[in-house]
Each structure stands twice: as C-alpha cells, then as structure tokens.
Amino acid sequence: MIEIPKFHETFIPILKVLENGETLNTRELYKLVIEKFYSELSKDQLEQQTKSGDTLIINRIAWGKSYLKKVVLLNFRSAEWYVLLEKAWLILINHSHCLMLRTQVVFSNSTMKKTTM
C-alpha cells in the first residue's frame, strides 16, 4: 500500500495531469490527480481527514497546486481554472526525474544546477 503523498510530492502529478494544456476546474484537477497517480490508496486513506475536516489527499493536492502557482508554474484564469504554462512543461520534461521547487528557483537533484525562472 502506498502512503498519502506529502504536498511537495504532488507537484509532478499535478503538472503531468495538466501537461496537455487543457484547462480544468479545481475538482476535475483533484479527481484526475487521484485517479492517475493515487488510485492505489485505500478507501480509508482516501477518506482520511485533516483536523479541520478537509479530505487529506485533497488538502495535499491543493497545497501542491498553491505552491506551483506561487512559483508561477500554474496560471490562475478565473475563480477555478488552472492551466499549465509553457515553462512548467519545459521544466517537467527536463527535470521530471527529481523536481524540487524553491520560490523562483528549480533545482535538479542529479546536478544541483540552478535554473532561474
């Protein structure tokens, strides 16, 4: 059984779901990320809640989405639409093996080479 991902572990799945350039509303995004990357989670894991009553897996994906938006890899179009920007797609292609996001800088673990946005 796999573990519920930490928020930073949802970065690649979110980017992969959006890599075709399609726009999705927030609920569709959460659903697709779970279906494509976390379908092996048990029913109990999928229903696990935070202290505030949010579904934990949704909360982690939401935080991942929020961080991707902060580093300008996701574009906020309206109240609920997100679209992958071209530079995020390029980063995904070039660094999908090890992607860590830190503010405006992307590091690749294999080279620890800075790539400024």
Q: Is residue 32 part of a domain?
A: yes
Q: Is residue 13 part of a domain?
A: yes
Q: How many structural domains comprise the chain? A: 1
Tell me the C-alpha distance between 18 and 28, whole Å: 11
Q: Is residue 1 part of a domain?
A: no
- 106, with CB counted inside 10 A (0-12, 13-18, 19+), is buried
CA contacts within 13 A on the Cβ side of 23: 9
Q: Is residue 42 part of a domain?
A: yes
Q: Is residue 55 part of a domain?
A: yes
Range of the domain at 39: 7-116
CATH number at residue 24: 1.10.10
pLDDT at 100 over 70: no
0.75 cut: is pTM over it?
Answer: no
Tell me the C-alpha distance between 26 and 104, whole Å: 24
pLDDT tens per residue across span 36-50: 999 999 999 999 999
Q: Is residue 2 part of a domain?
A: no
pLDDT tens per residue across span 12-67: 899 888 877 777 889 999 999 999 999 999 999 999 999 999 999 999 999 998 88
pLDDT at 9: 92
